[in-house]
Copies of this chain bind each other. A is one copy, B any other.
Amino acid sequence: MTITRQIVLKSRPMGRPDETNFEFVQTSLPALNQNEVLVKTRYLSLDPYLRNMMNEEEFVGPSFQLGQVFGGLAVGEVIESTSLLFQSGDFVSGAWGWQTFANVDAEPLTKINPDLSPVSTALGVLGISGLTAYFGLTEIGKPKVGETVVISGAAGAVGMLAGQIAKLFGAKVIGIAGSAEKNAYLQNELGFDATINYRMSNAELLAELKKAAPDGVDVYFDNVGGTITDAVLQLINPGARIPISGQIAQYNQTGTEMGPRIGMLLVKNSALMQGFSFTNYSSQFPEALEKLSGWIKEGRLKYKEHIIDGFEHTPKAFSGLFSGENTGKLLVKIPD
In the complex, 10 of the A-B residue pairs with CB atoms within 8 angstroms, ordered by the A residue number, are A225-B263, A256-B260, A257-B261, A259-B259, A267-B277, A270-B274, A270-B275, A271-B274, A271-B275, A272-B273
Nearest Cβ on chain B to A138's Cβ, whole angstroms: 15
* Interface check A21, CB cutoff 8 A: no
Partner of A274, one of B59, B260, B266: B266
**Are the C-beta atoms of B273 and A273 separated by less than 8 Å?**
yes
* Interface check A97, CB cutoff 8 A: no
**Are the C-beta atoms of A261 and B258 separated by less than 8 Å?**
yes
How far is A63 from B176 in the complex, measured between Cα atoms in Å? Answer: 34
Chain B residues within 8 Å of A250, by CB: 261, 263-264
- Beyond A258-B258, A258-B259, A259-B259, whether A247 also contacts B270 by CB under 8 A is no
Chain B residues within 8 Å of A52, by CB: 268
* Interface check A229, CB cutoff 8 A: yes
Chain B residues within 8 Å of A265, by CB: 275
* Interface check A245, CB cutoff 8 A: yes
Nearest Cβ on chain B to A142's Cβ, whole angstroms: 14
* Interface check A17, CB cutoff 8 A: no
* Interface check A60, CB cutoff 8 A: yes
* Interface check A315, CB cutoff 8 A: no
List A residues 231-290 near B (Cβ within 8 Å). Answer: 244-247, 250, 256-277, 280
A246 nearest in chain B by CB position? B267
A241 nearest in chain B by CB position? B274
* Interface check A77, CB cutoff 8 A: no
**Interface code A128-159, partner B: CB below 8 Å = 1, 0 otherwise?**
00000000000000000000000000000000
- Beyond A245-B267, A260-B257, whether A274 also contacts B273 by CB under 8 A is yes
* Interface check A36, CB cutoff 8 A: no
Nearest Cβ on chain B to A64's Cβ, whole angstroms: 16
